[in-house]
Structure 1
Amino acid sequence: MNPRVEPWLTAGVLLVAMAGLAYHCHYLAVPIVDDAAISLAYGLTFFSGEGLRVTPASQPVEGFSNPLWTLLLGLSHPLHLKPVAFTHGLGIVFGVLALPAVAAWGPAAEGRRWRLEDAVAPCVAALNPTYAYWISSGMETGLEAFLLGLSGFFLLRELRTGRTAHVGWALGLLCLTRPEGVLFTTAAGALWVGSRALERRWPGRQELRIFLWLLALVGGWLAVRWCYFADWLPNTYYAKQFWEFNAAAYFRNFWLTYQPLCVLAAAGWLFGLAGRGAVARQTVLALLYMGCGLYFVWSAKGDWMREWRFFAPLVPLLGAAMAVGLSGARAMSAQWVAQGRGRMPARLSLVAVTGAALTVGVPGLRASIARAPEVQANPELPYAVIAGNFRRVRTQTQALGQVHPLLGYPDLGGQAMVLRGAEIIDVAGLADYAVAHHANNYPALEDYLLSEGPCILLDAHGPSGHLAGFQKLMGNYHSIGSSFFMLNGLTPTEDPRCPEGKAATLALDPAAQLQRFEQEIREDQAQRALHRWRCVHAYTAAEQLPDEASRERLAELADQRGDALVREGHLLPALRQYSLATLLDEGNAHRRRKAEKLRGRIYPRPQGP
């Protein structure tokens, strides 16, 4: 093909692929999933000035694993945009932008103009319903795919030119988008070090700048995580550590569904490696990135969501593998010409490779497209459905006169978006430190839910179904239908958590409340003080509660009293003091960490057989 025409033709195909992907998303009309609403709720709380909490009244817990996406979604608040529509559209925008980012790998690696094979990856992604589904779902899939493509582009270009260090910030942002970003960064680093070793080049200013970008972004977030959330890992890691979703079946079903595309990708990697030089480097990068993605899926034990959420951002890499295969075939043909074997055999070899790819790829793409109606008809746990359920819960809490109801429910996204004034104990563990860290330790969980609550409403189903077997806890509740329970004795005029009765407890002014709290701390009646706080907090607006400085002073007093009780060997009373200190100090994560360490000591995790 005329080398002057091919770049323009490639650009045209790329634009068609981007438009096709946008139409594919429009056709699927995917509702944002409930998990996406979790990140949205956190982002809205942050930009409303209440910190990184799922609701302003909830404790500061990292119940998300995508900090960059969470903050981006929160921008809908200062920009005065509709949050749900913004979430839906932003994912599609990034997913579409990922196509040119991945397509640019070949020109970046080889320092050449666009060629037709560069448009293969965009076409594969545009026609794949798994990819289109998840970039439309409100999840961070589109952003992850975009940063994978962008980091690969910068890496390949900067290895070739030896200039700039943009790959540093691209990889840093990738690490802040998904936990597996650390794996991708490690793979990119391995390719960089290996390439420079082959060139016999020592690290220099370029490598230092890349390192500083990673240190600033990743190290900065780790510092924030420790200072604010009192942990080095996201809370979701602990919540999911015992979850099992049959990773083998996850892999097998994807393979059976997209077998032709996977076979072509494998063939592409083989031809790409044969191409040597810049083509081989591009091939190795695609292989390493794909390997990291697959390893993460295996280590995460699959996923509870359908349509292969974790594989979706890797779909463009399948196309990238096909593209490097065609580039490798071109390089082999050029080598034949250079060796004097003639232009005709070289052209025939290239035509044969292209024809074989089309023979396998076209039916595979057709099969992918044919799945679109089925995917469209089976959306994954829409946020709107969960939000509708919690509007009824909101009506219940309002009828009880509660300003900050304490709720124990899973299905966090819709709950947090509808009940913005609630304090949520996420009984699935994602956004609750104690529930996550005591996962599968039922005595510790039951003690936590009883002593620091109890919640006024409780849902025992799915990930929280085990709560129905907690006899001490459930003795405080009565069924209100299905898997839902209400606290015994709770009415619009009475709350069993109020020590002197609802009316008398709430009649105390802030100064009198502070006096009662201090008296109960000094007399080691921290459990009574915990109930008092739950009562006062539930029915009182934030500005009418005791002031922050006074509550912090009481928290410090309770913490010191707890330390003294630990030294005396009175661990359970000490735990109640630590719990009270945590709640009075707005859920301070370091106080929470201290309380849960003691709870784990009192109720050690049962040992396996």
Structure 2
Amino acid sequence: MAAVLGGLALIGARAAQYGNWLVDDAAITFAYARNLADGLGPVAQPGVPPVEGFSNPTWTALLAIGRLLGLFDRGTLFGIPDYVLFPKALALLCCAGILIAAHSAASLVSRRPWLVTLCTGALLAAVPSFVVWCFSGLENSLFALLVTSLAVVAFRAAILGHLLTPKVAITVGLLAALAALTRPDGAIYAAAYPLTALIQLRRTTLASTVRSVLVSCAAFAALFGAYLTWRYVEFGRLVANTAVAKSQQVPDLKQFTRVGELVLYAGTLAVLLLVLVVGLVMARSSWWRQGIPALLVPLSLALIAYAVLNPDWMGEYRFATPVWAMAALIGPLATAEAFRGSGVRGRFVLAVAMAAALVPSGAAFADAGSRFRDQPTLPMCFVADRFGRVFNTYADLLDVKQGSILEPDLGGTSLTSRLPILDLAGLVDAKIADYYHDHDMAALRDRVFEDVKPTFLHFRLYWGGTTGIATDPRLLRDYYPLYTYPAPAELGGDWVRKDAVHSEEQLAAARAYAAAVVPETERKLWVWPRRSCGDTLRPGQTTLDQH
């Protein structure tokens, strides 16, 4: 237990460096959790049609339970906003689970399981990509725990000769299903048990292997299939709306070269060292050969999943979290066994190799962590202020009682806007998601300007240029600018429908407010990126409420 707590302290200390930062996409899940707990159904805002704008049902459920228990989205805990504290505390618990799983594996094969566990914690704490995304408010920590757990269950079973028992097959199948319900790419881990069992296949175990694989697949299909059935009945889709909006395509062979990105990030020497110690262990120890595939298969699947997913705009290798968890587990386990099986000279050489490999990686990780700390990916609080509270204030100044807003950043906005949101990114709007999937930007613009006619709209850079909204003549025909960024036009700004403006005085007041508040709000994006944004986040809040 001391080793688990020690490793957890290292991870927690590193996470604390990122302060109250939460990525805005996490707040989309927060909004769904709030509305589910309040009995409003799977919606991003009260009263809007149900759309599966989340892709992490298990994480959403945990947050909804937290709200029902009064621990999340209610106020403050120990003086900290609970929308910050609760998801980060859950992440810390998941990291504790990873270290407990590491100790469970190490206790079976190492004389010093505490040391292996502590090293696992230290490695995880050192990797900014792991810490950043586990404590971002997203589901990464739970995902890593589920992948690590299924690997350790299979590893222990393989070492003890229990891999083909129904209990193990069902357990791994259910853990894989939970992983698939935590992230869409988690479905790949349905292959973990079958592949591990097939690697161990012998002529004498053919029947039991086939039977166990079928049992594991059935366990996976029962749980995951039940959710797919509900999804289709509720939303009319077999995949989450987010997957449609992001237009994930069938991968080609070139995408597998993206694994090289992770090698460079971790350090080529460190990766070669990992390959070396695993090779040494498999060459020397016959009993390890029974268990190591149970660890290498999930690691390989994690690498494949990273490679085939579309590149992620959030940066810092968000989709690689299970890779770091598995590598941090395998590395210390294999290194401990390699030391045990080496003489004095061999241990000295191995120690020198470790220093030569890990010191450069540690320095690179420290630099990456500092950069991300200074400029983290799109903070939720910035979005809550800029697109929730600012546009609420616009609506108050223009006396808009019933209106709507079109903009692409949904998290903080969903939690604070009193206006129904038309999602320019398509994550929580099924029709716009279909337009992105079909690459039909003309239809998207027609929906905006002819059908929905949002009262307010905001676009910038990519969103104005890619959709064509920035250059559509209906923009100037139907909307007044409230705040515009410098040229070119695609940089965009904030706009209001002309028929929502009742007087020149109101328009002038809204523009004066925008000129004073918007630049200051955007300046805070990098001046104070790790802040919280008040004790609570509620629809209707304005920037004036903060003074």
User: Structure 1 counterpart of 2:243, which letter?
Assistant: Y
Matched, 1:188 2:193: yes
> Between Structure 1 and Structure 2, how many residues are aligned?
468
Deviation at residue 181 of structure 1 after TM alignment: 0.9
Amino acid aligned to 2:90: L
Query: Which residue is 1:376 aligned to?
Result: 373
Match of 2:246 in 1: 240
Q: Give the 3 Å change call, closer, same or farther, for CA 153–232 of structure 1 in structure 2.
A: same
Q: Map 1:205-604; keep pairs closer than 5 Å.
A: 210-241=216-247, 254-259=262-267, 260-275=269-284, 277-326=286-335, 329=338, 333=341, 346=343, 348-369=345-366, 371-389=368-386, 390-399=388-397, 405-419=403-417, 421-439=418-436, 440-465=439-464, 466=467, 467-472=469-474, 475-482=477-484, 483-491=493-501
Q: CA deviation at 1:274?
A: 2.2
Q: 26, 39, 43: which one pairs with 1:49?
A: 39
Report the Cα distance in structure 1 between the residues aligned to 2:356 and 2:203, rounded to whole angstroms.
Answer: 38
SS in 1 for 2:480: strand
Q: Which runs of 5+ in 2 are unaligned?
A: 74-82, 485-492, 504-547
| Counterpart in the other structure of 1:167 | 172
How far apart are the structure 2 equivalents of 1:31 and 1:242? 28
**Distance verdict in 2 for CA 1:288–1:406, change over 3 Å:** same
C-alpha distance after superposition, 1:69-120 (max 9, x if no partner): 1121222321112431212322232134322323433445x59883744543
Give the CA RMSD over aligned residues: 3.1
Q: Answer whether contact 1:410 1:428 (CA < 8 A) is retained.
A: yes
Deviation at 1:363, TM superposition (A): 4.7
Q: 1:579 — aligned with what?
A: none
Query: Displacement, 1:428?
Result: 0.9
- Is the alpha carbon distance of 1:74 and 1:199 closer, same or farther for their aligned partners in structure 2, counting shifts above 3 Å? farther
Shift of 1:312: 3.0
Would the alpha carbon gap of residues 116 and 196 (structure 1) be closer, same or farther in structure 2, given more than 3 Å must change? farther
Is 208-217 or 29-38 further displaced after alignment? 208-217
Structure 1's unaligned 5+ residue stretches are 1-10, 334-344, 494-609
For residue 474 of structure 1, report the CA deviation from its aligned partner. 5.6
Question: Deviations for 1:255-310, whole angstroms, at most 9, x for unmatched residues?
Answer: 33421432322223322432454523443333332332222232223211122211
Could you tell me how far apart the structure 1 residues matched to 2:46 and 2:273 are?
50
Bigger Rg over Cα: 1
Give 1:410 shift: 0.6
Q: Whole-Å Cα distance in 2 between the matches of residues 321 and 413 of structure 1? A: 36
Contact 2:193 2:213 in 1 (8 A): no
In structure 2, the residue matched to 1:15 is: 5
Tell me the TM-score normalised to structure 1 length: 0.70
User: What fraction of aligned residue pairs are identical, expressed as a percent?
Assistant: 23
User: Which residue is 2:91 aligned to?
Assistant: 91
Q: Is the 8 A contact 1:40 1:87 kept in 2?
A: no
SS in structure 2 of the partner of residue 480 of structure 1: strand
Q: Is the 8 A contact 2:299 2:323 kept in 1?
A: yes
Distance change (3 Å), C-alpha of 1:199 and 1:471: farther
Please state how far the C-alpha of 1:324 moved relative to its aligned partner.
4.3
Aligned twin of 2:100: 100
Structure 1 residue identity aligned to 2:297: L
Distance 1:128 1:324 in 2: 18
Given that residues 55 and 423 in structure 1 are in contact (C-alpha distance below 8 angstroms), is that contact kept between their aligned partners in structure 2?
Answer: yes
Larger RCO (CA within 8 A; separation ≥ 6): 2
- Change in Cα spacing, 1:91 to 1:118, as seen in structure 2 (3 Å) is closer
> 2:129 maps to what in 1?
130
Q: Classify the secondary structure of the residue corresponding to 1:323.
A: helix
Aligned match of 2:153: 154
Q: Measure the CA separation in 2 of the matches of 1:95 and 1:374.
A: 23
When normalised by structure 2's length, the TM-score is 0.77
| Cα drift, residue 211 of structure 1 | 3.8
Q: Which moved more, 1:15-24 or 1:426-435?
A: 15-24
Pair 367,198 (structure 1): closer, same or farther in 2 beyond 3 Å? farther
